[in-house]
Amino acid sequence: MKIQSVFDKAFAIYGKVVEGYDFSSLLSTLEANSKKPSDSVIYVPSVDVLEAEPVFAELSSNCYGGMPIQVGYCNGTNTKLNCFEYHRDSEIDIAADDVILLVARQQDIIDGQIDSSNTEAFLCPKGTAVELYATTLHYAPCSAKKGEGFRVIIVLPKGTNEAKPDITVKNDEDKLLWALNKWLVAHKDTAEAKDGAHVGITGENVDIIDLL
């Protein structure tokens, strides 16, 4: 595996760089109001001070065509894939630090399984925002430098990642539903798998530590 850039043509399969917005105040607010753990990853779906930023309304009206959205963050230190998730809508990631995104295609999940060799890695530089398309498999970002953490703004439709709805399973995809608007496949060697997530990533659990 090589680390590519979100500005490379190869990223067009998975998403695009979001341009035309001033995220400087949003990122400053994130840095002032969130921790960056050195030994774990934390995710908070919705944060009032982030949603009070003027760019919040612009993202809702422009990026999501007027849909209600939430702005939260994913911070920490990480080098492993662990799981893949996807949503029914695009996700906007805005990097407060250099970060590496591990991604694959939903289309490559066959019978609930995807080999980890389908994973690609892309560097998203500090200050850059990207849209990850609905069919792009992703999970927690990875550190771009060994031993260094990251902060990333996560924008999603409102309610995403809240409690899983109570459903009657009608097909195999329903077995992947892990939270509201969140379908998940896990590697067997993860906490998510131990908690009951569908084990659907075969092969090695990708770890980019040696690429940093």
3-state secondary structure of 135: coil
The whole-number pLDDT of residue 168 equals: 98
Q: DSSP letter string over 39-106?
A: S-EEEES--HHHHTSTHHHHIIIIISTT--EEEEEEEE---B--EEEE-SS-EEEEESS-EEEEEEEG
d(CA 91, CA 159): 13
Check if the beta carbon of residue 50 is closer than 8 Å to that of residue 153. yes
What is the per-residue pLDDT across 192-207, written as a single tens digit (0 to 9) for each?
Answer: 999 999 999 999 999 9
What is the per-residue pLDDT across 98-126, written as a single tens digit (0 to 9) for each?
Answer: 999 999 999 999 999 999 999 999 999 99
Average pLDDT, the chain: 98
Residue 208: band (very low, low, confident or very high) from pLDDT cuts 50, 70, 90? very high
What is the per-residue pLDDT across 166-202, written as a single tens digit (0 to 9) for each?
Answer: 999 999 999 999 999 999 999 999 999 999 999 999 9
The whole-number pLDDT of residue 79 equals: 98
Paired sense of beta strands 136-137 and 142-143, if any = unpaired
Share of the chain above pLDDT 70, in %: 100
Residue 159: band (very low, low, confident or very high) from pLDDT cuts 50, 70, 90? very high
Interior angle at CA 94, CA 63 and CA 17, nearest 5: 60
**Domains assigned to the chain:** 3-159 (2.60.120.10)
Residue 69: band (very low, low, confident or very high) from pLDDT cuts 50, 70, 90? very high
